[in-house]
Amino acid sequence: MRDAGRSNAVGAPEARREARLVELGTAKPVAGVPGPGRWLVVDYGATALFSLKISLATSSVGKTLIVPTPYAVKMAYVDGGFRAGWADADCRAFLRALVDVEVRVAPPGDAVVTHTFVKVRQESRQGDPLRPYIASIAYREVVHHRGMWQWAFDLAGGDDWLAGRLVEAAPHVSYVGKRGSFIQFGGIARRVELGSGFTQPLDAGRQWAIPLRAHIAPLDDFGPEASLEVLSSFTETSPRRERHRRFVQTVIPIGLVNSGPGFSEYRAR
């Protein structure tokens, strides 16, 4: 279990962050990963179709995002911690430590979204106990990505304990977004800068680089009060916006280049 006194810096948050940035700017390994670089970048290959419904989607109209959100990435790593056999208390502390960590995603260069209608069974509104479900149809989208994902974690938002947990959990992450959107771990490294190939939040006062092609979408992330007790799928407590889950307008560095009745094609270049 995490030792609360293990943090590798003391003092005000700003002073700790400055000291952390200086440390990450050296070649000293962090969690066994040589530097320099504040960004821990993990490679994953998409081995199945990806799908993650936008926040405004309904059960009948499941329009998907092209990339996983920081919220989905962080939850995938918490799930990876459970799969690695960590204690519940460690997974709980890991999730809390991820609240202050910025996550950015670099999508592969080409993506095709398939638009389709599927047959589903829905709960009946008639209240007939003999027919609790009825046949219906639903709109679904799935994304085929060609190439490798890169997920970047800002190590300046945490300490060495968190960095070690990220490195340990990374190979245990097997899917992100909708269950069945499988991925395969490809490697891990550190970078000093990310460039315009990664997602960029449109926060006030922050500079961002213009990618060659892009679109903007609201991506969710952990809120300041996020906790395993609230975000777990097995709890009855509902997360509240801005407290446990927040949305950030984000530049996605891949743009629409072609579309038809049953597909949309996106490219980074």
Residue 3 has pLDDT above 50, yes or no: yes
Listed in sequence order, the DSSP H helices in 190-268 are 228-231
pLDDT, tens digit, 9 for 90 and up, residues 9-68 = 455 778 888 899 999 999 999 999 998 999 999 999 999 999 998 877 777 787 899 999
The 10 Å Cβ neighbour count of residue 60 is: 12
The 10 Å Cβ neighbour count of residue 158 is: 23
Cβ atoms 81, 165 nearer than 8 A = yes
Q: Listing from the earlier edge strand, what are the strands of the sheet with 263-267?
A: 61-62, 133-146, 110-123, 263-267, 255-260
Nearest to 24 by CA among 7, 37, 6: 37
pLDDT, tens digit, 9 for 90 and up, residues 184-203 = 999 999 999 998 999 999 98
Listed in sequence order, the DSSP H helices in 99-192 are 160-169
Report residue 70 as tokens.
């920081």
Which range has the worst mean pLDDT, 51-65, 93-107, 147-161? 51-65
- Please tell me what DSSP assigns to residue 94: H
Query: What pLDDT is stored for residue 2 in this prediction?
Result: 63
Residue 180 has pLDDT above 70, yes or no: yes
